[in-house]
Amino acid sequence: MRADQPIAEVQPRVPSTSMRRLMLALGLVCTALGIIGIILPVMPGTVFLLIAAWAFSRSSERLHLWLFQHPRFGRTIREWHLYGVIPVRAKVVAITMMAGSFAYVAMTLNDNWIIPALVGATLVPVAIWIASRPGWPRA
């Protein structure tokens, strides 16, 4: 996406004023959570920034362009939006954290097998989906 390309060509605008305001509020909250997630290691950041980019694409062209062109976050957001890319390092970190979370649940709830089974049944498909995403844009 070029900097001079209008967002309206990429995403349709939501006509309702109340919906635009709701999407703007969602985008602002998710941007704040995303920045907190970048700072704190226990909270995901990228997913909130992706949600913010989606919400801004329906509410604020200026904020959407700001995220798309941001020097730190822009490349990741653009590659996800255009190609569905999850960087290899992010895949490794995400799957490692999910495995660690599962191990923690399994060890702390060893008297009850249902909760670890449900957690595992949720995390395994998510890990497979993450691993199946491309790691870099295709040429």
The mean of the pLDDT values for the chain is 85
pLDDT digits (tens), the chain, 139 positions: 555 555 545 555 545 788 899 999 999 999 999 989 888 877 888 889 989 999 998 899 999 999 999 998 888 888 888 888 988 888 998 899 899 999 999 999 878 889 999 999 999 999 999 999 988 877 5
- The b/e string for 107-121 (b: 16+ C-beta within 10 A; e otherwise) is eeeeeeeeebeebee
- Give me the residue spans of the domains in the chain: 7-83, 88-132
Please name the residue ranges forming H helices in the chain.
17-39, 46-57, 61-68, 74-83, 88-108, 114-132
Amino acid residing at 128: I
Would you state the pLDDT for residue 10?
54
pTM of the model: 0.68
